[in-house]
Amino acid sequence: MSAKILVVDDEPQIRRMMRATLSSNGYQVDEAKTGEEALEKLRSYQPDLVLLDLNMPGMGGIEACRAMREGSDVPIIILTVRNAEKEKVEALDAGADDYVSKPFGMQELMARIRAALRRIPGATEGAPHSFASDDLEIDFDGRRVRVNDKSVRLTPKEFDLLRHLVAHGGKPVPHRELLQAVWGPDYGDETDYLRVFINHLRKKIEPDPSRPKYVLTEPWVGYRFHIPEDS
């Protein structure tokens, strides 16, 4: 069963090109012309991945991305003509998994799509199956997280990031290694991705995100998962 991709773009020629190239690469494709239509298709078509244009009339890409994130953890790749750092962070902050600027080479896009669809296999050798402390429970096999006995929804990338940090049991993980483990071998320099995702993660699992006790920053190196003494 091949993955289903929803292409959201207001430009008909781009939708045509994307449909042809993606189908040829073995994906199933559906299209949406606006942000509103994309939300509709997210329910009816149930895509495995969304390619989302930022610059659309009506509900813009950022807004659509945020709305999709409210009810779904589907991977979202932003495709945009804008290439400013500020916009990239804004898109990732709105819940996007990746960001590709137009025009792009098809090989690059395919690599990004594969990375977004890829899941780290559930139980790698030596990796923990679960983690529990006073206020945080993680079930790695079931991909479930509970904070203070309340279920918390993490996006696949956030979950994989958390798992990779926990798997290193308190040792710092360098930026590059984290990026390649979670996004794929083509990544490594996108430290801004990590910054945004770690922030999301802290907001979801830390009791006080501004003073994290689990996900700690190792200056100039990377991040590490701190296991509290009493757990």
Partner 1 sequence: MPEVVQEDLCALRSKSPRDCRSNTVRVVRSGNQNDFVFKLRVQHSVPALSKRMHPHRTSASGLDGRLTRRLRWARLRYIEYGTVSRTLQAAIRLVSSVALVGAIIFVYYRVVPANSVTVALTLVLAILGVAARWGYAESIAASIAGMLGLDYFFLPPIGKLTISDPENWVALAAFLVTAVTASELSVRARHRAAETIARRQEVERLYALGQTLLLSGSVRSAARDIVNSIIRTFEMPGAVFFNQLTGEFFRSDVRGSISDEQLRRVAETGEPLIDAHAQIAIVPIRLGGQSSGSLGFVGCTLSEAALNALAYLVAIGIERAKTIEETNKAEAARQSEVLKATLLDALAHDLKTPLTSIKGAVTHLLAKPHDAEELELLTIANEEADRLNRLVVEVLEMARIDASKLHPDRAPHSIMDIIQATLKEQEESLKGRKIELHVPPALPAADVDFDFIQQVLKQLLDNATNYSLPGAPLTISAQAEGERIVVSVADEGKGIPVDEQARIFDKFYRGRAWREKVLGTGLGLSIAKGIVEAHGGKIWVTSAPGEGSVFSFAVPAFKGELVS
Residues that bind partner 1 (CB under 8 A): 11, 13-14, 16-18, 20-21, 24, 55, 81-83, 85-86, 102-107, 109, 189, 217, 219-220
From the list 110, 98, 104, 100, the residue with the least C-alpha distance to 26 is 110
Where do we find the tokens 């779904």? 72
Q: Kindly state the smallest distance separating residue 6's Cβ from partner 1, in Å.
A: 17
Give the separation between CA 71 and CA 153, rounded to whole angstroms: 10
Nearest CB to partner 1, comparing residues 24 and 44: 24
Q: Kindly state the smallest distance separating residue 83's Cβ from partner 1, in Å.
A: 8
Nearest CB to partner 1, comparing residues 20 and 227: 20
Residue 115 · residue 187 · CB < 8 Å: yes
Q: Kindly state the smallest distance separating residue 194's Cβ from partner 1, in Å.
A: 14
Phi first, then psi, for residue 99 (nearest 5°) are -145, 120
Nearest CB to partner 1, comparing residues 107 and 151: 107
Strand 4-8 to strand 76-80: parallel, antiparallel, or no bridges (unpaired)? unpaired
The type of residue at 173 is: V
Give the separation between CA 177 and CA 192, rounded to whole angstroms: 14
Angle at 188 between CA 50 and CA 103, to 5 degrees: 45
Q: Kindly state the smallest distance separating residue 78's Cβ from partner 1, in Å.
A: 13
Q: Kindly state the smallest distance separating residue 13's Cβ from partner 1, in Å.
A: 5
Nearest CB to partner 1, comparing residues 108 and 134: 108
Q: Kindly state the smallest distance separating residue 67's Cβ from partner 1, in Å.
A: 22
Nearest CB to partner 1, comparing residues 24 and 210: 24
Nearest CB to partner 1, comparing residues 139 and 186: 186
From the list 148, 144, 119, the residue with the least C-alpha distance to 133 is 148
Structure tokens belonging to residue 119: 């899941």
